[in-house]
Amino acid sequence: MPVDDLGAGAGSDRSLRRALSVIALGVRAEPRLFAIAVTGSVLYGVLTAGMAQAVGWVTAHQITPAIHEGGLSRGRALIIGSVIGGVVLLTTVGVLLRRIGGGFTVFNVGADYRRKVTRQYLRLPLAWHHRHPSGQLLSNAHADVEATWNIFMPLPMSLGVLVMLLAGAVQMVLIDPVLAGVGLVIFPLLFAANAAFQRRMSERVTRAQQLRAEVAEVAHESFEGALLVKVMGREQRETSRFAEVSDRLRTAAIRAGRTRGTFDPVIEAIPTFGTLAVLGVGVGRVASGAVTTAELVQLAYLISVLAFPVRAFGWVLGEIPRTLVGWERVNAVLQARGSMSHGAADLGQGSPGARLTMDGVTYSYETASDAALTGSGATAGSADLPASGALGAPIALRDITLDVAPGETIAIVGPTGAGKSTLAGLIVRLIDPTSGRVSIDGVDVRDLAPGALAADAALVPQSTFIFDDTVRGNVTLGAPVPDAQVWAALRTAHADGFIARLPDGIDTKVGERGATLSGGQRQRIALARALVRHPRLLVLDDATSAVDPTVEQAILAALGAGTGAMTVVVIAYRMSTIALADEVAFLDEGRLVDRGTHAELMSRCQGYVDLVTAYAREAAERAAVAADEEPSDPVEVTS
């Protein structure tokens, strides 16, 4: 929803109804805690109004007689202290119940909705995440959830204030209807001032909330690309970019602060003028004998005490715009469609190696415009799609049919943009095909129960992520894996040597994103992370690109040796790596052009030959050019 629309409508009946519906969700989530908060608020409201009654009674029956007697006796002092102290104590209990109940309501409902948002992130397909910046997702899960439910802090007090106002108004009318009329005039004025304040603040608060998300997005992106920023010398640009959006947030916050600064003195002054008006009229009423001095004190006290809690309505009204904006953003995530469906099938205890089958698999990436038209996380399509998807999205893979036998190693080879990484994502079901079928051991991966595929298939992507944890923590990811199994995985990944030389071995912390490790070391730890789970199908998406060629060959040889049973799909570029595979599949422009052994493809597929020999041909050409440029006779150098 556009900011202007939401801001303009926040004070309307429609916005109020929407806010009440959001509040109802929170109440249903924590009914007992909210009831405790409201009970405490009502107790506070009744006793705050009752304090005026107590003050009036003490003035009439204890203080006035003491003045006439010429002194305050110990007995009267004890009565005064007991009455006032008892009311104060019970009021304090009410305040504690209200704040504790309201606080727990905010934190519990907030925690519940943060879990709902993050679980939804896990359910939504990768295509949905491609369209949403990670900074925005962090803002949805934190700042927007917080903005949605913070209204439960002032809300219980505002409900207690209603009771307080009713009790106070009844007392005023019973004491003196004339003075009550004078005093009660301030409350419509307060409500009118609060309503005007709400209308002015609505747009400003809404804008500031959305800018907080933008600041989070820019900051997160800068942190993620810190290395690139420094290497390319773009610190000043990133600083300027962050400063620009921060300045916009500051400007929005200042506008909101100015509005609050304008209205706060007015709202604070209204009760003071009301109290002065009551005292001015009350002097005449006391002189005429219509009311006593004690009753005038009681009335003036009631007005001064009741005026401040009325501000609670302003606090609630001030939170409504943030609540609505936060809820719109959170609910957009919760209502997002395109989550992957699962079946109940299990792969069971089959052979140590899994059979991989792809039948007519086509995949087209969904663009933002496609998402707007379909409203879902998956784009419809068929194997007969044209060069682009039905909605204009480019097709990454087209009609791929592939069968990999258990225990076989297949190399996926192709030029940049051929669809190799997309193929890897389809195998482990990071994405679902637009059409066609991906099967493991004859079972469609879409029919598998949640977690069933992850138990048998592992992907080591080309971009390696290392947590700020120990080597053991990065390999096991918190799973109860024996150290012997961790070391076995590290040996297979040829990482045991450098790990053993670390100060604390597998208990060495490697820093954020593995800052203390080289690129090849990080890749080998990531490979061990997959191997420690003993997958039956291992997919390596250029996962050893930073590893020395000799070490890479040793790793692939170890994967093929071992038990000789693991099925391996490796996306490869190096000739030495490709030659180790049992079979090679050559992709070009999203199509499976040819498949066979390396020798077979070298003999019949010119595109494959051109690709895998490109580096050798380029090196030969450079050598030939260098040879041609060498002088045939010595060159005489003169000084």
Reported as a single tens digit per residue, the pLDDT across 247-290 is: 888 888 888 778 777 777 777 777 777 778 878 888 888 888 88
Taking alpha carbons only, the member of 94, 226, 213 closest to residue 145 is 213
Q: Which secondary-structure segment (H or E) carries 568?
A: strand 567-571
- Who wins on pLDDT, 72 or 122? 122
Which pLDDT value is given to residue 152? 87
Confidence category of residue 312, pLDDT binned at 50, 70, 90: low
What is the rounded CA–CA span in Å between residue 591 and residue 419?
8
Give the pLDDT confidence score for residue 378 in this predicted structure.
39
Question: What gap in Å lies between CA 274 and CA 305, rounded to an integer?
Answer: 12
Q: Which pLDDT score, from 0 to 100, does residue 271 have?
A: 73
HSE-up of 129 (CA within 13 Å, CB side)? 14
Residue type, 444: D
The Cα–Cα gap between 482 and 292 comes to 85
Alpha-carbon torsion angle 94, 100, 106, 112, nearest 10: -130
Range in 2-6, 48-52, 587-591 the model is least confident about: 2-6
Q: What tens digit of pLDDT does each residue of 378-413 get? A: 333 333 333 444 444 578 899 999 999 988 889 999
The amino acid that residue 263 corresponds to is F
Q: Which of 83-87, 279-283, 358-362, 499-503 has the highest mean pLDDT?
A: 358-362
Torsion on CA atoms 175, 178, 182, 183, rounded to nearest 10: 10
Residue of higher predicted confidence among 239 and 378: 239
Q: Which long-range contacts (CB under 8 A, 24 or more apart) does 26-35 make?
A: 26/105, 26/109, 26/149, 26/151, 26/152, 29/108, 29/109, 29/112, 30/104, 30/105, 30/108, 30/109, 33/101, 33/104, 33/105, 33/108, 34/101, 34/102, 34/105, 34/152, 34/156, 35/101
Which of 188, 210, 303 minimizes the C-alpha distance to 256? 210
What is the band of 360 on the pLDDT scale with cuts at 50, 70, 90?
Answer: very high
pLDDT at 616 over 70: no
Q: What is the mean pLDDT of the chain?
A: 79
CB 531, CB 457: distance < 8 Å: no
> How many Å separate Cα 553 from the centre of its chain?
41
CA nearest neighbour of 412 among 552, 537, 539, 550: 539
pLDDT at site 156: 85
Q: Is the pLDDT of residue 28 over 70?
A: yes
| Length of the chain, in residues | 639
Quote the DSSP letter at residue 506. Answer: G
Across residues 300-317, what is the average pLDDT? Answer: 69
Decide: residue 119, CB within 10 A, 0-12 exposed, 13-18 middle, 19+ buried.
exposed
pLDDT confidence of residue 573? 80
Which of 379, 472, 382 lies closest to 432, judged by CA? 379
Predicted local confidence at residue 621, as pLDDT: 67
* Helix residue ranges, H only, 124-185: 126-130, 134-139, 145-149, 155-175, 177-184
Evaluate if residue 362 carries a pLDDT over 70: yes
Mean of pLDDT values over 563-591: 83
Q: List all residues 6 or more positions away from 534 whose beta carbon is below 8 Å from its beta carbon.
A: none
Higher pLDDT, 100 or 393: 100
With 70 as the cut, is the pLDDT of residue 76 above it?
A: yes
Tell me the pLDDT tens digit for each residue of 128-161: 887 777 777 877 888 888 888 888 888 888 777 7
Give yes or no for a contact between 593 and 607, defined as CB atoms under 8 angstroms apart: yes
Residues 541 and 459 sit within 8 Å (Cβ to Cβ): yes
CA distance linking residue 323 with residue 302, whole number of Å: 32
Angle at 309 between CA 306 and CA 311, to 5 degrees: 120
211 vs 420, higher pLDDT: 420
pLDDT at 592: 92
Q: Is the pLDDT of residue 332 over 60?
A: yes
Q: Sheet of 395-404: strands edge to edge?
A: 395-404, 356-364, 435-440, 443-444
Is pLDDT of 587 > 90?
yes
Q: How many CA atoms lie within 13 A of 302 on its CB side?
A: 34
What's the confidence (pLDDT) of residue 493?
A: 85
CB 84 within 8 A of CB 56: no
Lowest mean pLDDT among 77-91, 552-566, 576-590, 616-630: 616-630
Residue that wins the pLDDT comparison between 322 and 209: 322
The one-letter amino acid at 110: G
Q: Nearest Cα to 161, choosing from 15, 333, 316, 365?
A: 316
- For residue 377, CA distances in Å to 126, 330, 431 come to 9, 17, 10
3-26 average pLDDT score? 64
Q: 253 — phi, psi (to 5°)? A: -65, -40
pLDDT at 572 over 80: yes
Reference 1, options 252, 207, 143; nearest CA is: 207
């107590």: which residue's tokens? 54
Domains, the chain, ranges and CATH? 3-334 (1.20.1560.10), 399-622 (3.40.50.300)
Return the closest-CA partner of residue 482 out of 492, 472, 469, 470: 472
Check residue 392 and give its pLDDT: 47
Question: Residue 244's Cα: distance from chain center in Å?
Answer: 23
Flag whether pLDDT at 305 surpasses 60.
yes
Task: Work out the end-to-end distance of the chain between its first and last CA atoms, rounded to an integer number of angstroms.
Answer: 79
- Quick one: tokens of 493? 């990944």
Could you read off the pLDDT of 424-433 as tens digits, one per residue?
Answer: 989 988 888 8
Query: Alpha-carbon distance 18 to 347, whole Å?
Result: 47
Tokens of 519: 């690129």
| DSSP state at residue 234 | -
Strands 583-588, 409-413: pairing kind:
parallel
